[in-house]
Structure 1
């Protein structure tokens, strides 16, 4: 049984048979583990499709409200990982995460072993397998919490880095330019800025050493001056897991950002730019509630 609850139209318990009745996809994934590199051929249903079966609760008055939500995938042992809706959505991240129930071995598809199944969530493209939650029991949809508020819109000159970190800070253009610069080319535009992961990691993320892969239960809320916001999981960003090349950009094509404030969150691998946050006023690190 898989429980789907939280910010959905109707909480639902899915049986294995009901999940198997959804459109099936087969994917080949590879990732590192404590026993070495693994490759699997899994069959299952899209997490996005499954969530839309119950209806993700969004506010139509809020632009791209879905980008301010995330899913906590929890196993029967309470191990968990956060997946932002922006990562799951075909319009944005489209990473292909699935709830899988079968694996092909020696040409034959069979149910997952008791170690991994009956259900497991996947994280295609991740370096290590920490976000592959085995014996999946719950998917809980939440709206991100943040203390950041809109400032009425307009061009910004600084942003706050805060939340579950040891060293909160304020960044202006000079402070960003003093950090190691990276570039990302997206279509015809080349952005220059700082690695989002490096910026957050240097602030001292307050994880618990007693919780396995506790980092995977954390997310970041990026907020613009108009209140527009995006959620990114720290698992997406970590070089050990998702290794996404997101940046806080401060220039485009060698010139200051055009009308989007001094700093803009840029997500290079997204299909659409809806997750980008212009006129950045806040980056807040949050541990998802248990």
Structure 2
């Protein structure tokens, strides 16, 4: 199956950790008249070298990134100029633990960003990796207003995670206090490889189903061109949406805590956040392809997950046997 090989193990060098002696804040824009936030502590835990509490000064010691972002909110369109540390860099500074025996293991992980009010949003590691989705998410600590950069106000800060390119601001988690890195779970089992003729769509769905080539071809077709290849298939978001994603209305923007695990016949798997796919947020054109350049897929199985905007093809899962929707544990 087509994927990036030799993905390095993401663990922060000890000398870099020594440079940052670790000691142990919902979404949308805030009122610019709010006072600046004065304290920050960001917990980073889960599949990392060691659970860490970062101070604002330690985050500011990382290479600074300034970005202009625009998104919709309940109060209308917003544009902000934020300065902060790259989310990917920050996580790698702490050290993402991966299993070298698992091919592209980092692509089977995700990070949950949580605010002080327990509002959360999930990002797939492949979504934020510079090699793949390269979305440019950052942990912001300052905003430029009228030409002057200042600390985030108490409404949004002292820390806020950004989601550049998202249509709406649901994944801009304000008052960020926690980042948790986890390995995706799935009930699907596969090994040994081989060309597939069907896959299971399951998980937190009202209408799980089994799809073969005829079932896919009966759905509305889309085409996506990636390099010199033109794929034909079905929209991944449309497939999931029609199956009835089972969110909890009691949780604000509950969808933003869901992810999809795609598994191939050899056991290879990757993660896509549902927010990446949703037209309200990432609006990515991901698809389940069944033809390439007008011909049926062959050695890659009857169906292949295609992520057109990724820089490398590690999240393209060939010989699909399972697509499973999961709500990350709270």
Does the alignment reach a TM-score above 0.5?
yes
1:152 alignment partner in structure 2: 192
- 1:44 maps to 2:95: no
Q: Map 1:258-269; keep pairs closer than 5 Å.
A: 258-269=298-309
- Residues 162-201 of structure 1, C-alpha deviations (whole Å, 9 max, x = no match): 0001101000000000000000000000000000000001
In the alignment, structure 1 residue 277 sits paired with structure 2 residue 317 = yes
Structure-2 separation of matches of 1:213 and 1:265: 26
Query: Are 1:287 and 2:324 matched, yes or no?
Result: no
Instruction: Quote the Cα distance in structure 2 between the aligned partners of 1:99 and 1:54.
Output: 14
Paired residues, number: 290
Partner SS state of residue 209, structure 1: coil
The CA distance in 2 between the partners of 1:166 and 1:112, in whole Å, is: 41
Distance 1:241 1:93 in 2: 14
Q: Do structure 1's residue 219 and structure 2's residue 238 form an aligned pair?
A: no
SS at match of 1:130: helix
Cα separation, 1, equivalents of 2:266 and 2:298:
17
**1:151 Cα shift?**
4.0
Alignment match, 2:28: none
Q: Equivalent residues in 2 for 1:95-134 (5 A)? A: 95-134=135-174
Q: Is residue 94 of structure 1 aligned with residue 134 of structure 2?
A: yes
Which of residues 292, 295, 299 is equivalent to 1:252? 292
Q: Tell me the alpha carbon deviations over residues 115-141 of structure 1, each in whole angstroms, 9 at most, x when there is no partner.
A: 110000000000000000000010000
Q: SS of the counterpart of 1:220?
A: strand
Residue in structure 1 matched with residue 245 of structure 2 by the alignment: 205
- TM (norm. structure 1) is 0.99
Superposed CA RMSD in Å reads 0.5
Report the alpha carbon displacement of residue 257 of structure 1 after superposing the two structures with TM. Answer: 1.2
User: Larger strand proportion, structure 1 or 2?
Assistant: 1
Cα offset for 1:152?
1.9
What per-residue deviation string (whole Å, max 9, x for no partner) do you get for residues 58-83 of structure 1?
00111100000000000000000110
CA-to-partner distance for each residue in 1:220-275, whole Å, 9 max, x for gaps?
00000000011001111000000000000000000011310000000000000011
Deviates more, 1:150-159 or 1:139-148: 150-159
Aligned partners of 1:105 and 1:280: how far apart in 2? Answer: 48
4+ long deviations beyond 2 Å: none
Match of 2:216?
176
After the TM superposition, which residues 20-31 of structure 1 pair with which residues of structure 2 at under 5 Å, given as runs? 20-31=60-71
| Structure 1 residue 54 displacement after superposition | 1.2
Q: Which structure: larger Rg?
A: 2
TM-score (norm 2): 0.87
SS in 2 for 1:27: strand
Unaligned residue ranges in structure 1 (runs of 5+): none
Distance 2:207 2:259 in 1: 17
Counterpart of 2:54 (choices 11, 14, 19) is: 14
Match of 2:278 in 1: 238
Task: State the shift of 1:20 in Å.
Answer: 0.5
1:80 counterpart = 2:104:
no
Distance in 2 separating the partners of 1:214 and 1:136: 17
Measured in 1, the distance between the counterparts of 2:167 and 2:262 equals: 24
Alignment partner, residue 182 of structure 2: 142
- For structure 2, list consecutive stretches of 5 or more residues without a partner in the other structure: 1-40
Q: In structure 2, what is the Cα distance between the partners aligned to 1:245 and 1:201?
A: 14
For residues 223 and 82 of structure 1, what CA distance do their matches in structure 2 show? Answer: 20
Secondary structure, counterpart of 1:101 in structure 2 = strand
